Amino acid sequence: MKYIDEFRDGALAKHIAERIAAEVKPDHHYRFMEFCGGHTHAISRYGVLELLPPNVRMIHGPGCPVCVLPIGRVDLAIELALQHDVILCTYGDTLRVPASGGLSLTKAKARGGDIRMVYSAGDALQMARDNPEKQVVFFAIGFETTTPPTALVIRDAAREGLKNFSVMCSHVLTPPAIRAILDGGRPRAGPPPAGSAPSGGSDPCEAGERGGHGSHETAEIEGFVGPAHVSVVIGSDPYAKFAQEYQKPVVIAGFEPLDVLQAILMLVRQVNEGRAEVENEFTRAVTPHGNLNAQAVMDDVFELRGAFEWRGLGTMPHSALQIREKYREYDAEARFNLGYRSVPDNKACECGAILRGVKEPRDCKIFGTVCTPENPIGSCMVSSEGACAAHYTYGRFRDIPVVAATEGAEA
């Protein structure tokens, strides 16, 4: 199968791993963050960590869209379903994100809410066409990857004059999250960016220069494996500021195991040579400027939101999108007069620290016991792209010899 089997070649993977082992400096500890949840899943699924030298560490980042969704946003969706008698449509993983009072959208459905899983934003729009007597709300989440389809259905609804369709927009932006990690959670001063465009019209990196609210410890890293699908939309150029300003290399990589290994090798070489550049391993899909048509439709429909709460990173100004005034009648938050309320995470859950790269899934006391994919307590255990779910599925048994060896040493 073209572009699949070619990037899962075991012999070639071993060869790249040997190159990494040969080129790392024995006295240097390399710390790279894979920002995207898709990379976290691939690293766990294909055993990439087992191929790396012990002084090369991969750190999970906040690039799983379900994982960074705060409890308060899920509570709003549940309020719509249970109190406003709407048909609420959303993606499958979103249904299982834990909310307040032990609820989730799945449990709210069991209480009588008309909540339906869809595979695309277009499915939600069709639901509104098929049910003209009901208000249909699409609970839209995700990074720049899933934002253009949401923009398109809003434009289509406006063109058709549909009065029973609206969107609860929870789309977030990648560059502000990267900047928050690099800033260590410290807020940065400054006015909002001119134009307030999500991409294209203004530099999306500027959207993150206002930093986060409060302070959160974040991981110390030497470079990033940049996201794949997001970069198809926004291009590789937006990462140049991070490389230049923070002197951190960025290598954009695809999701196959050879993509990830090659990106790690490229990062090792940059660190060894004292370079901090943006390199594109995923040249078969990513260009410097990205998808200009997708950026244009995003700019037409969305603008930067003043502030948005992220799970783990806190409230960050200009880090998410909202629907522009000319399409405001399709904004569910305005139509149903929804008011956001921040809700703290479960005290036993370490999702926030895991999303910042400070802790690993095995550092959480409830991982794999109370919190499992069947009964997720935290959002990182919900999606297959979540660090906890990936480690539970592919990596938790690797911890057993480590624990046994530690207990033996203590004895």
CA 29, 31, 32, 37: dihedral to nearest 10 degrees?
A: 130
Burial of 205 (0-12, 13-18, 19+ CB in 10 A): buried
pLDDT string in tens for the chain (411-residue length): 566 778 888 899 999 999 999 999 999 999 999 999 999 999 999 999 999 999 999 999 999 999 999 999 999 999 999 999 999 999 999 999 999 999 999 999 999 999 999 999 999 999 999 999 999 999 999 999 999 999 999 999 999 999 999 999 999 999 999 999 998 855 454 444 333 345 444 444 444 433 334 446 777 899 999 999 999 999 999 999 989 999 999 999 999 999 999 999 999 999 999 999 999 999 999 999 999 999 999 999 999 999 999 999 999 999 999 999 999 999 999 999 999 999 998 999 999 999 999 999 999 999 999 999 999 999 999 999 999 999 999 988 776 655 444 454 454
What pLDDT is stored for residue 399 in this prediction?
65
φ, ψ dihedrals at 112, nearest 5°? 115, -5
pTM for the whole structure: 0.88
The per-residue pLDDT for 192 is 44
d(CA 322, CA 179): 20
Q: What does the domain layout of the chain look like in residue ranges?
A: 1-350, 351-410
- The single-letter DSSP state of residue 64 is -
φ, ψ dihedrals at 280, nearest 5°? -115, 100
Q: Does domain 1-350 have CATH number 2.40.50.100?
A: no
